[in-house]
Structure 1
Amino acid sequence: MSRYRGPRLRITRRLGDLPGLTRKSPRKAYPPGQHGQARRKRSEYAIRLEEKQKLRYNYGVTEKQLMGYMKKARRATGSTGTALLEFLEMRLDNTVFRMGMAGTIPAARQLVNHGHILVNGRVMDIASYQCRPGDVIAVRDRDRSRQLVERNMEYPGLANLPSHLEFDKNTYTGKVNSLIEREWVALQVNELLVVEYYSRKV
């Protein structure tokens, strides 16, 4: 299935707060649809599926991409769930978002795709690029690029800068100091349930 481009508040009503997807909060506290207010007992599969969907919609990845990250996380040392979150959080579009250069991850992805972002002095237009410790991320030295980021920074998506990043608001330059720690992941998700969901698929 391709990347979701429909109403974002519909997703947040169903899955809860997704800080990377939208800054808006829904007016209704129950899921959308005719049976949204009906209390139904959810199966274990439904609970795992919901946690997986949170990752998909928040980070804006396709099912195929998420499956690929899951396979890489399985091969990595340490906890599979933590490794999966690391891969998603260290994507370039998410890093640009966490630095405050865009209000949402889709907005950050657009900045990257349109060539407004430099990584180590070179234009990087691949949103899924995996940032590594030592990478320097900056806004391209063009009026258009600077204006876009300046406008975005008036309404940042998340107020707190994670400990693994640093960002200079005067020069629009940031640096990745290390891999993200689990406590700094803004999305409320149980990654162990996601690992369980994929246990029979990967």
Structure 2
Amino acid sequence: MLKKASCKICRRLGQKVFLKGEKCLSPKCPFIKRPYAPGPKKKRTTGHLSEYGKQLREKQKIKFYYGLRETQFKNYVKDILKKRSKMSDSTQTLLKKLERRLDNVIFRLGFARSRAQARQMVSHSYFLVDGKPVNIPSFLVKPNMVISFKESKKTKTLIKNLSSLLKNYQPPQWLRLDKEKMEGHILSEPDASEMQDSDISAVFEFYAK
């Protein structure tokens, strides 16, 4: 889904959506070198976006940030729009649902360098949730759940790479990482303040039409 064009996506959106793991945090990140939209100079514009353009851009930011296909993301938003009148905060509901996806949690725990890699690892049955195998990236975790590696997947190479990757890593406050056991514990619901900075109301307006 997001291969060669991933760096161009960030440049087009005018904001990093962290599609390439560690590269996005390094000085070699193309967005740092060229923080403008790709394409010929004469075609670039910093002009005023229409309301629809703003809504589309915000939708794209969140969708690419979590690595979702259009249909997947649309279903999440549409489902919340149907129940919106019964919710105290639909924005937090959407963000928390996206954060609770198993592929995102694997990434947040530091077990993968990107959400794309995390999704692939989940699909290839690398993980157990409360001791049971789960290979569905969209599986939603809940507080008190424990995520661990399948013993058959804990190769020496994997453990060595993870030990180096996790040495100075701290996950978000709603997660606890046991670096010795290579386990993740879900402590609470996600904290919306730690999530992607986007105008979620514009996303709802985009799909409400």
Give the TM-score band, short-chain normalised. Answer: 0.7 to 0.9
Q: Which has the higher helix share?
A: 2
Unmatched 5+ stretches in structure 1: none
Q: Is the 8 A contact 2:10 2:17 kept in 1?
A: yes
- Output the CA distance in 2 between the equivalents of 1:56 and 1:39: 23
Deviation at 1:142, TM superposition (A): 2.5
- Corresponding residue number in structure 2 for 1:172: 182
- Output the CA distance in 2 between the equivalents of 1:32 and 1:149: 39
| CA spacing shift, 1:183–1:44, aligned 2, 3 Å | same
* Alignment equivalent of 1:9, drawn from 4, 7, 10: 7
Which contiguous aligned blocks of 4+ residues in structure 1 show a shift greater than 4 angstroms? 143-146
> 1:35-91: CA deviations, max 9, x gaps?
564332211111110110011111111111111111332326221121111111100
- Output the CA distance in 1 between the equivalents of 2:156 and 2:186: 20
**Matched residues, percent identical?**
30
> 1:107-134: CA deviations, max 9, x gaps?
1111111111111111111001011112
Which residue identity lines up with residue 90 of structure 1 in the other structure? R
Pair member with larger Rg? 2
Deviation at 1:159, TM superposition (A): 4.6
Q: CA RMSD in A?
A: 2.2
Unmatched 5+ stretches in structure 2: 24-28
Q: Is the 8 A contact 2:126 2:153 kept in 1?
A: no
| CA spacing shift, 1:128–1:96, aligned 2, 3 Å | same
- Corresponding residue number in structure 2 for 1:127: 137
| CA spacing shift, 1:52–1:86, aligned 2, 3 Å | same
Q: Check if 1:56 corresponds to 2:63.
A: yes
Which residue identity lines up with residue 7 of structure 1 in the other structure? A
The aligned length equals 196
- Corresponding residue number in structure 2 for 1:19: 18
Q: Is the 8 A contact 1:48 1:196 kept in 2?
A: yes
Which residue identity lines up with residue 41 of structure 1 in the other structure? H
Report SS of the residue matched to 1:23.
Answer: helix
| TM-score, scaled to structure 1 | 0.87
- Corresponding residue number in structure 1 for 2:197: 188
Q: Is the 8 A contact 1:139 1:145 kept in 2?
A: no
